[in-house]
């Protein structure tokens, strides 16, 4: 696409040799300004653009996302980047190369956040950072951390939570883990990229308060606590301006207010006007296009793109380059410790599984005979699809294998029947093989309809019925209302299996091998055990079996509400939940804004989405408006029970310190999550959520009868709400309730403290350009 590096090198050697060669600097961390001065305009315009994605040509790391431009004459090497938050996304095989390059398939982000364990996030980040480094790359395009505004967003498996504090803190530790290896993290997609439908052109329209308190807050925490080297802007617009062309977002808020001093990069092929992106401080456009190069050259010459701006962006890129493994010529091994990373995936995958119901069904008796029902039971899903999904690298441990590893038997007649059925369904759905960028692979598989007699016979011959429900989603398409609900045949299967097993005096357990919440309210009373396994990477079968067998005591908590039905959440009113017309799907818009369908009136939820629910997303809505849910945010059971004793609150300056003893009251060792919500005094003008998560922690393994004292700190300034009139974060003076909880709906201990008022002014930017019909409390 551009003059190759080689050419530049040759030209430089031929023409530049002589007078310049002597004085020509080579890039070091302390001569960046001097190197920028040496660069030609062409070189600068090349450097701010990526080098393409490498489809159809030989590249150094096949199957990765791209690289940065090299200028050998100035000692500027290429650096290399790859997706994703589930693991290094790179082809395992290369042309003309007989060895393989497998990477670890880790758990989905939603599964990681369900651990509520910052150290787990650190460890996964570190593993991915290490694989990136040991395979010779520099930069991992993760974490994705958009707020789960709606349960149907296709990329929710890549995101952490409906709560910005949980999202931001998990992201920060994940970033620290990556960067502890000297690999760059990339916090994305900045910001409010809450749907996939028409993602390149959708305008997220919202109040400044929702923007600040929810959609930016998680990023702010990730930036302040995690110090990522890079941030990726998004495809969408916010309040009428593309995020990669909006200096208020990237220069004013991200850099000036939050102190970010790294590199800002666009999402792949995002944006319309390269010059506007440069002006906005979107330092690099990836993967780079010829027309962007031409535009930058032209605008640099005609003055629309001032040299000072181009130099500033170039300088930031060079500051990134000098930190890279490539710059240091790191002697990578091509042999990361995949064995250890698989162990981490297994342990952390299990820690993120959430036990939703247990009427004496779990753990299963050792050596029991399991009847597995449901196609997904035989085709377990390790992760999502799209660039942020799983690669299915060297292997996926199936559920059958996991159960067998745990000493259980999987009922053979059913297994044989499902083997045939799954193969036939795959052929029916994908006659030409599974597409590599597969959308919803088995979601549309039909379940087997069995006779009652058949199920009764199976129940008679086995110890427990385990029904597996699967949902897969990913980049470029949102889920639909139909997928949120269980399909008729799935419901029939659950009913039939429950009846037969209960008739036989046996238990039924349902496993949700899902990418995000599904409907559970209408059928959960039929079953004895319900485990949300999420999608936990290559070790998924082992992780599930570890929970079912009791080897691991469940300790995951929901990072997102399981609502009773679709339509219950305030954001459901403004989300493309029923898009059937493929013209509106994002797939067609994946590679650029110029391909948009513009010959029609702007459509709600397609071309723009009104965030009318305002700050009432997830539990902030259900909790504040007293709406019942199936399972609340923060919920999850254990095989033991915990008591909370000696709760107290102390104040140290502007800091509130809550301490509580967690006591294991049962007969199994277990870990517990302590959630701290804070309820602010009522403020009629502003309207406050009933309570908000302000801190949390996870205990170590507590033995039966033993206790652990946990300490949770909250800074007074973090209790602020955003006041639009004053454009300030305002902490109202008054009595605040500090609620130690085991879910948003279950308060264990309530404490209170007087808090002084305080105010922090910020820039009044990113206002909505239309009138929104905002929800008030
Ligand atoms: C995705 C990003 C990803 C990039 C590069 C885009 O389609 O939105 O998350 O990092 O592609 O693969």
Tokens 């899902």 -> residue: 514
How high is the pLDDT of residue 18? 42
How high is the pLDDT of residue 582? 54
Whether the CB of 387 sits within 6 Å of ligand 1: yes
Whether the CB of 216 sits within 6 Å of ligand 1: no
Residue 271 near residue 288 (C-beta atoms within 8 A):
no
How high is the pLDDT of residue 475? 87
Whether the CB of 511 sits within 6 Å of ligand 1: no
Residue 641 near residue 668 (C-beta atoms within 8 A):
no
Q: 302: which 2 tokens?
A: 């005609």
Residue 487 has phi, psi (to 5 degrees) of: -75, 160
Class of the 349-559 domain?
Answer: alpha beta
For 129-154, give the DSSP string: HHHHHHTT--EE---B-----STT-T
How far is ligand 1, taken at its centre, from the CA of residue 387, in Å?
Answer: 6
Which of 265, 258, 294, 267 minimizes the C-alpha distance to 280?
265
Which of 156, 152, 70, 66 minimizes the C-alpha distance to 111?
156
Whether the CB of 158 sits within 6 Å of ligand 1: no
Q: How would you class 601 by CB atoms within 10 Å of its CB: exposed for 0-12, middle for 13-18, buried for 19 or more?
A: exposed
For residues 488-492, give the mean pLDDT. Answer: 97
Name the H helices within 180-324. 208-210, 217-226, 247, 274-279, 290-302, 307-321
How high is the pLDDT of residue 596? 53
Domain boundaries, the chain: 5-321, 349-559, 640-761
Instruction: Judge if the upstream peptide bond of residue 406 is cis by omega within 30 degrees of 0.
Output: no
Whole-angstrom Cα distance, residue 351 to residue 370? 23
Atom of ligand 1 minimally distant from the CA of 235: 8
Q: Which residues of 422-450 are buried (b: 16+ CB within 10 A; e: fewer)?
A: beebbeebeeeeeeeebbbbbbebebbeb
How far is ligand 1, taken at its centre, from the CA of residue 592, in Å?
Answer: 12
Tokens 């992106």 -> residue: 277
How high is the pLDDT of residue 22? 56
Greatest CA separation for the chain: 92
Whole-angstrom Cα distance, residue 705 to residue 709? 13
User: Nearest C-alpha to atom 4 of ligand 1 is from which residue?
Assistant: 268
Predicted confidence (pLDDT) at residue 591 exceeds the cutoff of 60? no
Tokens 């996030």 -> residue: 121
Please write the tens of the pLDDT for every residue from 418-454. 999 999 988 888 887 766 554 444 567 789 999 999 9
Whether the CB of 226 sits within 6 Å of ligand 1: no
How high is the pLDDT of residue 430? 81
For residues 530-545, give the mean pLDDT. Answer: 98
Whole-angstrom Cα distance, residue 374 to residue 397? 17
Residue 530 has phi, psi (to 5 degrees) of: -140, 120
How high is the pLDDT of residue 263? 98
How far is ligand 1, taken at its centre, from the CA of residue 529, in Å?
Answer: 37
Atom of ligand 1 minimally distant from the CA of 199: 8
Atom of ligand 1 minimally distant from the CA of 476: 7
Predicted confidence (pLDDT) at residue 6 exceeds the cutoff of 80? no
Whether the CB of 122 sits within 6 Å of ligand 1: no
Instruction: Judge if the upstream peptide bond of residue 362 is cis by omega within 30 degrees of 0.
Output: no
User: Nearest C-alpha to atom 11 of ligand 1 is from which residue?
Assistant: 268
Q: What percent of the chain has pLDDT over 90?
A: 86
Q: How would you class 315 by CB atoms within 10 Å of its CB: exposed for 0-12, middle for 13-18, buried for 19 or more?
A: middle
Predicted confidence (pLDDT) at residue 512 exceeds the cutoff of 50? yes
Q: Which helix (H) or strand (E) holds 464?
A: strand 464-470
Using pLDDT thresholds of 50, 70 and 90, give the confidence band for residue 560.
Answer: very high
Please write the tens of the pLDDT for every residue from 635-685. 999 999 999 999 999 999 999 999 999 999 999 999 999 999 999 999 888
Give the number of other Cβ atoms within 10 Å of residue 668's Cβ.
15
Whether the CB of 465 sits within 6 Å of ligand 1: no
Tokens 């590096």 -> residue: 5
Residue 559 has phi, psi (to 5 degrees) of: -90, 5
Whole-angstrom Cα distance, residue 638 to residue 541? 20
Using pLDDT thresholds of 50, 70 and 90, give the confidence band for residue 698.
Answer: very high
How far is ligand 1, taken at its centre, from the CA of residue 48, in Å?
Answer: 18
Whether the CB of 141 sits within 6 Å of ligand 1: yes
User: Nearest C-alpha to atom 12 of ligand 1 is from which residue?
Assistant: 65
263-265 and 230-233 strand pairing = parallel
Q: 473: which 2 tokens?
A: 């989603």
Using pLDDT thresholds of 50, 70 and 90, give the confidence band for residue 7.
Answer: very low
Mean pLDDT, the chain, integer: 93
How far is ligand 1, taken at its centre, from the CA of residue 209, in Å?
Answer: 28
Give percent helix, percent strand, percent coil of the chain, each to the nearest 5. Answer: 35, 20, 45
Whether the CB of 267 sits within 6 Å of ligand 1: yes
507-513 and 529-532 strand pairing = parallel
Atom of ligand 1 minimally distant from the CA of 387: 12
Whether the CB of 142 sits within 6 Å of ligand 1: no
Predicted confidence (pLDDT) at residue 186 exceeds the cutoff of 90? yes
Whether the CB of 268 sits within 6 Å of ligand 1: yes
Q: Which of 62-76, 386-400, 463-477, 723-737 has the lowest mean pLDDT?
A: 386-400
Q: Which residues of 81-104 are buried (b: 16+ CB within 10 A; e: fewer)?
A: bbbbbbbbbbbeebeeeeeebbbb
Whole-angstrom Cα distance, residue 205 to residue 409? 53
Beta-sheet strands, E only, within 172-262: 186-190, 203-205, 230-233, 237-238, 241-242
Whether the CB of 188 sits within 6 Å of ligand 1: yes
How far is ligand 1, taken at its centre, from the CA of residue 267, in Å?
Answer: 6
Whether the CB of 83 sits within 6 Å of ligand 1: yes
User: Nearest C-alpha to atom 2 of ligand 1 is from which residue?
Assistant: 267
Question: 399: Cβ–Cβ under 8 A, 6 or more apart, which residues?
Answer: 372, 377, 378, 380, 468, 511, 540, 541, 544, 545
Angle between helices 164-179 and 217-226 (to 10 degrees): 30
How far is ligand 1, taken at its centre, from the CA of residue 234, in Å?
Answer: 9
Which of 144, 589, 111, 637 minimizes the C-alpha distance to 362?
637
Please write the tens of the pLDDT for every residue from 120-174. 999 999 999 999 999 999 999 999 999 999 999 999 999 999 999 999 999 999 9
Whether the CB of 89 sits within 6 Å of ligand 1: no
**Residue 705, phi-psi category: left (phi > 0), alpha (psi -120 to 50), beta (remainder):** left
The answer to whether the predicted template modeling score (pTM) of the entire model surpasses 0.75 is yes
How high is the pLDDT of residue 433? 76
Cα 164-227-88 angle, rounded to 5 deg:
85
How far is ligand 1, taken at its centre, from the CA of residue 579, in Å?
Answer: 22
For residues 745-769, give the mean pLDDT. Answer: 98
For residues 382-389, give the mean pLDDT. Answer: 88
Task: Give the domain 5-321 fold.
Answer: TIM Barrel (3.20.20)
Predicted confidence (pLDDT) at residue 594 exceeds the cutoff of 50? no
Which of 55, 64, 111, 75 minimizes the C-alpha distance to 538?
111
Question: 136: Cβ–Cβ under 8 A, 6 or more apart, which residues?
Answer: 60, 61, 80, 325, 326, 330, 332, 334
Predicted confidence (pLDDT) at residue 323 exceeds the cutoff of 80? yes
Return the higher-pLDDT residue of 10 and 752: 752
How high is the pLDDT of residue 583? 52
Q: How would you class 191 by CB atoms within 10 Å of its CB: exposed for 0-12, middle for 13-18, buried for 19 or more?
A: buried
From the centroid of its chain, how far is CA 530? 24
User: Nearest C-alpha to atom 7 of ligand 1 is from which residue?
Assistant: 268
For residues 315-327, give the mean pLDDT. Answer: 98
Q: For the chain, what is the radius of gyration of the CA atoms?
A: 26
Return the higher-pLDDT residue of 129 and 5: 129
**Which of 82, 228, 265, 387 for mutating ligand 1's site (highest number of atoms within 8 Å of CB)?**
387
Residue 558 near residue 514 (C-beta atoms within 8 A):
no
Whether the CB of 66 sits within 6 Å of ligand 1: no
How high is the pLDDT of residue 265? 98
Residue 187 near residue 174 (C-beta atoms within 8 A):
no
Identify the CATH number of the domain defined by range 640-761: 2.60.40.10
Using pLDDT thresholds of 50, 70 and 90, give the confidence band for residue 593.
Answer: very low
């Amino acid at each position: 696409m551009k003059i190759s590096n080689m050419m530049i090198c040759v030209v430089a050697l031929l023409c530049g040799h002589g007078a310049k060669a002597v004085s020509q600097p080579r890039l070091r961390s302390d001569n960046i300004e001097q190197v920028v001065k040496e660069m030609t305009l062409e070189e600068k315009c090349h450097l701010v653009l990526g080098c393409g994605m490498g489809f159809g040509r030989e590249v150094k790391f096949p199957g990765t996302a791209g690289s940065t431009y090299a200028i050998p004459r100035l000692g500027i090497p290429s650096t290399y980047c790859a997706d994703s938050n589930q693991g290094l996304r790179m082809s395992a095989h290369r042309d003309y190369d007989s060895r393989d390059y497998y990477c670890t398939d880790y758990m989905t982000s939603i599964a990681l956040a369900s651990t509520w364990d910052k150290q787990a996030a650190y460890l996964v980040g570190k593993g991915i950072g290490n694989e990136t480094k040991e395979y010779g790359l520099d930069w991992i395009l993760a974490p994705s951390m958009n707020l789960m505004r709606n349960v149907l967003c296709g990329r929710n498996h890549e995101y952490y939570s409906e709560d910005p504090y949980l999202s931001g803190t998990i992201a920060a530790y994940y970033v620290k883990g990556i960067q502890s290896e000297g690999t760059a993290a990339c916090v994305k997609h900045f910001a409010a990229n809450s749907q996939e439908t028409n993602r390149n052109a959708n305008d997220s329209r919202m109040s400044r308060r929702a923007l600040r308190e929810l959609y930016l807050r998680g990023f702010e925490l990730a930036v302040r606590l995690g110090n990522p080297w890079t941030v990726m802007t998004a495809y969408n617009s916010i309040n009428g301006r593309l995020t990669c062309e909006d200096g208020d977002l990237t220069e004013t808020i991200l850099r000036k207010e939050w102190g970010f001093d790294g590199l800002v990069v666009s999402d792949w092929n995002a944006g319309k006007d390269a010059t506007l992106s440069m002006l906005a401080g979107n330092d690099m456009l990836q993967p780079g296009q010829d027309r962007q190069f031409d535009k930058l050259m032209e605008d640099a010459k005609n003055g629309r793109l001032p040299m000072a701006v181009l130099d500033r962006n170039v300088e930031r890129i060079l500051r990134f380059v000098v930190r890279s493994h490539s710059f240091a010529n790191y002697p990578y091994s091509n042999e990361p410790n995949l064995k250890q990373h698989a162990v981490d995936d297994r342990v952390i995958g299990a820690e993120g599984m959430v036990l939703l119901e247990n009427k004496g069904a779990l753990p299963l008796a050792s050596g029991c005979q399991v009847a597995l029902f449901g196609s997904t039971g035989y085709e377990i899903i390790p992760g999502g699809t799209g660039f942020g999904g799983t690669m299915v690298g060297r292997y996926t441990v199936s559920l059958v294998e996991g159960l067998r590893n745990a000493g259980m038997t999987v009922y053979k007649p059913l297994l044989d029947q499902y083997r045939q059925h799954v193969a036939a369904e795959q052929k029916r759905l994908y006659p030409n093989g599974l597409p590599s960028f597969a959308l919803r692979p088995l979601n549309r598989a039909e379940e087997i309809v069995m006779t009652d007699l058949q199920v009764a016979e199976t129940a008679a011959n086995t110890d427990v019925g385990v029904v597996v429900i699967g949902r897969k989603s990913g980049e470029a398409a949102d889920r639909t209302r139909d997928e949120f609900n269980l399909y008729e045949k799935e419901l029939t299967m659950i009913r039939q299996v429950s009846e037969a097993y209960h008739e036989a005096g046996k238990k039924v357990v349902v496993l949700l091998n899902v990418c995000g919440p599904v409907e559970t309210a209408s059928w959960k009373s039929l079953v004895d055990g319900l485990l949300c396994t999420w999608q936990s990477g290559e070790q998924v079968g082992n992780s599930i079996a570890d929970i079912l067998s009791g080897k691991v005591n469940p300790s995951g908590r929901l990072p997102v509400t399981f609502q009773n039905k679709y339509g219950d959440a305030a954001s459901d009113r403004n989300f493309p939940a029923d898009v059937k017309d493929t013209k509106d799907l994002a797939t067609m818009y994946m590679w650029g804004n110029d391909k948009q369908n513009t010959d029609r009136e702007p459509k709600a939820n397609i071309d723009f989405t009104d965030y009318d629910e305002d700050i009432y997303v997830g539990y902030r809505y259900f909790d504040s408006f007293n709406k019942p849910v199936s399972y609340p945010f923060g919920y999850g059971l254990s095989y033991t029970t915990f008591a909370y004793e000696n709760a107290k609150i102390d104040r140290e300056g502007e800091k509130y310190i809550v301490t509580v003893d967690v006591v294991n009251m049962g007969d199994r060792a277990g870990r517990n999550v302590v959630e701290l919500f804070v309820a602010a005094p009522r403020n009629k003008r502003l309207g406050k959520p009933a309570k908000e998560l302000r801190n949390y922690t996870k205990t170590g393994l507590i033995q039966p009868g033993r206790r652990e004292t946990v300490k949770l700190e909250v800074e007074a300034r973090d209790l602020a709400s955003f006041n639009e009139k004053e454009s300030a974060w305002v902490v109202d003076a008054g009595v605040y309730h500090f609620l130690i909880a085991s879910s948003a709906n279950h308060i264990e201990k309530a404490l209170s403290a007087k808090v002084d008022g305080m105010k922090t002014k910020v820039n009044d930017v990113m206002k909505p350009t239309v009138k929104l019909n905002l929800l008030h409390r």
